Chains A and B, each alone.
Chain A
Amino acid sequence: DTAVSQTPKYLVTQMGNDKSIKCEQNLGHDTMYWYKQDSKKFLKIMFSYNNKELIINETVPNRFSPKSPDKAHLNLHINSLELGDSAVYFCASSPHPHSTTNEKLFFGSGTQLSVL
């Protein structure tokens, strides 16, 4: 009964391929996010969705396309993968609307993406 679950845990692929990462939360939260954590552990937001609507797109290349079929799911599709896309990608959800003092994030366990 994992709260925020993302699959796969590990993803190894060749440059130029297209891949997807799936995320589901069973907490009933309206807000979901994708974060990227680089090799130096710097965690940076990529996208934020509130009830299936895109709220934040933080200058992420358009090769990255999030899709939210319902408020419990936020998937990330990446086209034409590049070496620099190698990182750990975290899905997260929040019980409160974005940008409130009470905002708090519940993270999935991450997807380690390695582009060869």
Chain B
Amino acid sequence: TQLLEQSPQFLSIQEGENLTVYCNSSSVFSSLQWYRQEPGEGPVLLVTVVTGGEVKKLKRLTFQFGDARKDSSLHITAAQPGDTGLYLCAGLHLPSGNTPLVFGKGTRLSVIA
């Protein structure tokens, strides 16, 4: 079983601050995804990273896939209350046959105005 560890588990910051959350594993993943989940809703896909060392930007969010494809980070610049939510990373291991996406346990972010 490929496990994904996310840290920190909880994060509470003031509006305007920067933050980074991490997703780590001892396994190599073919791709890694980040989702954001708001209360009472399902997770929504933010980004997929595929290549080791890849960096993707989505407005104030920057996603990086580790060179060895075992870890990833999400950096948010100038956080806003609308960024509040549960951030989940999910990894896909190929060749996997029918191995499903593996989810981390998430980082719960609270941005206070």
- Write out the residue numbers on chain A whose beta carbons fall within 8 Å of the beta carbon of B100: 33, 45, 48, 56, 58, 98-99
A112 to B50, CA, bound (A): 33
Cβ–Cβ contact A99 & B42, under 8 A: no
B1-56 residues at the A interface, CB under 8 angstroms: 30-31, 33, 35, 37, 40-45, 48, 50
Q: How far, in whole Å, are A110 and B38 apart by their CA atoms in the complex? A: 11
Question: Does residue B103 face the partner (Cβ distance < 8 Å to A)?
Answer: yes
Inside 8 A of B86's CB, which chain A residues have their CB? 41
- In the complex, what residues of B have CB within 8 A of residue A42's CB? 103, 105-106
Residues 83-116 of A at the B interface (beta carbon under 8 Å): 90, 92, 98-99, 101-110
Chain B positions within 8 Å of A, measured between CB atoms, are: 30-31, 33, 35, 37, 40-45, 48, 50, 86, 88, 90, 92, 94, 96-101, 103, 105-106, 108
Q: Which A residues are closer than 8 A to B by beta carbons?
A: 4, 33, 40-45, 48, 55-56, 58, 90, 92, 98-99, 101-110
